[in-house]
């Protein structure tokens, strides 16, 4: 089992790695990507010569630094890889904090490329129009496919402020509006997902803390989100901050969330989305052990790539020791600002390295997205016609259709 001291995870990420097979990246991504030079792509020496921890060569043009950081981040996954495009997989996240919302900046243009699966004559613009109409009239929404069995996805990224919570809440809200039942498990002591879904999470109420520490059944704390049929939340209170420490001496400390989810009547849910805190502690490890899939939101900024290497390594560790079924299934590009070349560069390079794992839909920066939580709402209900809402709805749709085509 994990040998880490303290909260039970690699000290500084330097734990010696036993050989672990790849993360399941698509085989096609093993080759040289169109935006890479052969030198960068053909061996791991490019990765080894580049640090992703702030040591990058600042004399390089920005685009080269982006590529180098990415090469370092994915080097392990792109060598010795087991191909499994479209398979369900898992990942995790955590990390430092960087606020990215800038309410002064107007909404970036929404990027909604053609989704890989479309229904007859259906286009993103038509769906955006439908969304706009839906605000006022409550147009009938097309039901989306429900997976044959519940998909358990951990939304993780090493860094804070990359859109984990926003992604969890808005994908969940979109899915639930289309007849898909979703449970959001708030695993961040800050309780941001609980706030955004307007679920009571005052100190003292039973929460995910009691599930992890007191082995309280998860079903007892699950609350249906008001006004959103089919959307449920297991709230987090600030007590959860103590759980990182309290869990350390406990039996099966890494698997406690997994056990409580196993005891849940899964026929009630189509998706469980676990919103991780920004750290690599025991809470995040619990989320990774409980899930089959990892969804990594990546902010379209250069530094957003820096944590990826450690994140992917952590996924490998969990996969190798605690949860062999874990796969990184989905990457979502967030907070895209099409006016900056860097955002475009990051998006292109992430896509060229990770291929089909990256959802076609890119989430733009949108003032409405950042405003919604203060009203206890997802942007999907707060302003369904906004660029952010349309993009999240589109991303959720991709996710739902991928489940049946994978
Ligand atoms: P994390 O959970 O990874 O820490 P959050 O989802 O809380 O990140 O997002 C960090 C901040 O950025 C929040 O204030 C959120 O409202 C804002 N934000 C997230 N996505 C967007 C977006 N697409 N456009 C504008 N602001 C965003
Ligand atoms: Mg969060």
Express each pLDDT in 79-94 by its tens digit: 222 223 333 333 333 3
Residue 252: is its pLDDT beyond 70? yes
CA distances from 286 to 91, 173, 283 (A): 12, 24, 5
**Is residue 375 over pLDDT 50?**
yes
Summarize pLDDT for 210-225 with one digit per residue, the tens: 999 999 999 999 999 9
The pLDDT of 354-364, averaged and rounded, is: 95
Q: Given this model, what pLDDT does residue 297 score?
A: 97
Whether 281 lines ligand 1, by a CB cut-off of 6 Å, is no
Query: pLDDT (tens digit, 9 = 90+) per residue, 35-75?
Result: 333 333 333 333 333 333 334 444 555 667 667 777 776 65
Q: Which are the contacts of 80, defined by CB distance < 8 A and separation ≥ 6? A: 21, 22
* Whole-number Cα distances in Å, 242 to 43, 69, 245, 334: 44, 34, 6, 30
d(Cα 149, Cα 234) in Å, to the nearest integer? 20
CB of 277 sitting under 6 A from ligand 1: no
Across the range 264-272, mean pLDDT stands at 94
Say what the pLDDT of residue 50 is. 31
Closest to 170 in 3D by CA, of 331, 377, 337, 336: 377
What are the b/e assignments for 369-392, b being 16+ CB within 10 Å?
Answer: bbbbbeebbbbbbbbbbbbbbbbb
Question: How far is Cα 244 from Cα 4, in angstroms, rounded to an integer?
Answer: 13
Terminal Cα-to-Cα distance of the chain (whole angstroms): 31
CA distance 389 to 372: 10
Q: Cβ atoms within 10 A of the Cβ of 99, count?
A: 8
* CB-ligand 1 contact for 334 (6 Å cutoff): yes
Extract the runs of DSSP E, i.e. beta strands, from 61-150: none
Ligand nearest to the CA of 95: 1
Asked if residue 387 has pLDDT above 80, the reply is: yes
As a whole number of angstroms, the distance between CA 167 and CA 367 comes to: 15
Which ligand 1 atom minimizes the distance to the CA of 370? 16
> Model pTM?
0.76
DSSP 70: H
């Amino acid at each position: 089992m994990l040998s880490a001291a303290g909260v039970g995870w690699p000290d500084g990420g330097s734990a010696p790695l036993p050989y672990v097979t790849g993360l399941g990246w698509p085989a096609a991504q093993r080759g040289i990507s169109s935006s890479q030079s052969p030198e960068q792509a053909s061996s791991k020496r490019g990765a080894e010569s580049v640090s992703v921890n702030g040591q990058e060569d600042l004399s390089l043009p920005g685009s080269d630094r982006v590529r180098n950081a990415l090469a370092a981040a994915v080097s392990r996954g792109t060598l010795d890889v087991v191909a499994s495009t479209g398979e369900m997989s898992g990942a995790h996240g955590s990390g430092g904090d960087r606020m990215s919302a800038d309410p002064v900046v107007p909404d970036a243009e929404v990027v909604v490329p053609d989704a890989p699966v479309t229904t007859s004559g259906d286009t993103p613009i038509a769906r955006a129009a439908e969304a706009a109409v839906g605000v006022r009239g409550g147009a009938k929404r097309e039901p989306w496919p429900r997976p044959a069995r519940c998909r358990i996805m951990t939304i993780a990224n090493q860094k804070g402020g990359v859109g984990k919570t926003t992604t969890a809440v808005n994908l969940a809200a979109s899915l639930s509006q289309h007849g898909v039942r979703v449970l959001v498990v708030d695993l961040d002591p800050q309780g941001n997902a609980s706030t955004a879904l307007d679920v009571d999470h005052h100190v003292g109420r039973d929460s995910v803390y009691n599930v992890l520490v007191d082995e309280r059944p998860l079903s007892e704390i699950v609350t249906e989100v008001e006004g959103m049929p089919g959307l449920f939340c297991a709230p987090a209170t600030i007590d959860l901050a103590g759980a990182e420490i309290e869990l350390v001496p406990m039996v099966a400390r890494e698997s406690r969330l997994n056990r409580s989810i196993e005891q849940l009547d899964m026929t009630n849910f189509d998706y469980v989305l676990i919103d991780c805190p920004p750290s690599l502690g025991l809470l995040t490890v619990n989320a990774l052990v409980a899930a089959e899939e990892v969804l990594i939101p990546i902010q379209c900024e250069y530094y957003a790539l820096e944590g990826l290497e450690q994140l992917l390594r952590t996924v490998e560790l969990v996969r190798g020791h605690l949860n062999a079924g874990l796969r990184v299934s989905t990457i979502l590009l967030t907070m895209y600002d099409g006016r900056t070349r860097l955002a475009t560069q990051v998006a292109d390079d992430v896509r060229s390295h990770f291929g089909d794992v990256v959802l076609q839909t890119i989430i733009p920066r949108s003032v409405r997205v950042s405003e919604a939580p203060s009203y206890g709402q997802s942007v999907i209900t707060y302003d369904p016609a906004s660029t952010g809402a349309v993009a999240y709805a589109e991303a959720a749709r991709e996710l739902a259709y991928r489940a049946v085509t994978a």
